[in-house]
Amino acid sequence: MLETIDLACARGARELFSGLNVTVTPGLLFAVVGENGSGKSSLLRMLCGLLPGEQGTIRWNGTDIAGMNDEYTQHLTYLGHLNGIKDDLTPVENVQMSAHLSGDDSSAGSAQEALQAVGLGRRVQALPTRVLSQGQKRRVALARLWLSRRPLWILDEPFAALDEGGITLLTQRFKQHLDAGGMAVVATHQEVALPRDSLRYLRLPG
């Protein structure tokens, strides 16, 4: 379980949000929505332990993450709004590298299966990533979710650059993750097509 208690965030002299109390339990996806500049990305970085809050506490299973370090991060998969992939590597090599760094299955076969699951066939998998479209690059980055066995996913605009087919595939993967007892916090500008009992919206003030 992930929870925030009286969490606040500021950018310079401007307060983005304060008094934020959220509880994310297994089987739930929290969709964080709001205008550009409302603090969505900052909130996600705070939840990952990458950015300190102005005040408040973030707890993982009842323990303040400030003192947990790797004991906390080994439970989460974070994907920022940038793809975080290497243009000179193939999609397979990129997925293998990210899986290895996360401690997930990094075999070539598993990477190929993950890429196939996001709609990238063997021909595309063998190309340098730099020649792919933005939508294909986003799929390469998202393929790591098909290998992740970590319970908490924190994702910044995962639907960006995806076409309708890609959005459907990602939504199906979310459902699989939640049905298996996982949880997620997702910053997005789009509606998330999940059942009501597994979806919550958190709107940050503009």
User: What pTM did the predictor assign?
Assistant: 0.94
**Residue keyed to tokens 């087919």:** 165
Sheet of 183-187: strand order equals 76-79, 152-156, 183-187, 29-33, 199-203
**Residue keyed to tokens 């997620």:** 184
Phi, psi of 147 (to 5 degrees): -110, -15
pLDDT tier, 11 (very low <50, low <70, confident <90, very high otherwise): confident
Give the pLDDT mean for 79-97: 94
Give the pLDDT mean for 135-154: 96
Over 90: is that where the pLDDT of 128 sits? Answer: yes
Give the pLDDT mean for 85-97: 96
Over 90: is that where the pLDDT of 145 sits? Answer: yes
Calpha distance 185→99 (Å, rounded): 20
Q: What pLDDT sits at residue 81?
A: 86
pLDDT tier, 102 (very low <50, low <70, confident <90, very high otherwise): confident
pLDDT tier, 205 (very low <50, low <70, confident <90, very high otherwise): confident
Q: What pLDDT sits at residue 69?
A: 83
Q: What pLDDT sits at residue 82?
A: 86
Q: Which domain covers residue 32, as residue numbers?
A: 2-203
Over 90: is that where the pLDDT of 45 sits? Answer: yes
- Calculate ∠ Cα 188-193-199, nearest 5°: 75
CATH number for the domain that contains residue 40: 3.40.50.300
- Per residue in 48-57, pLDDT tens? 999 998 999 9
Structural domains in the chain (count): 1
Calpha distance 102→49 (Å, rounded): 16
Closest CA relative to residue 17, chosen from 149, 182, 145, 202:
202
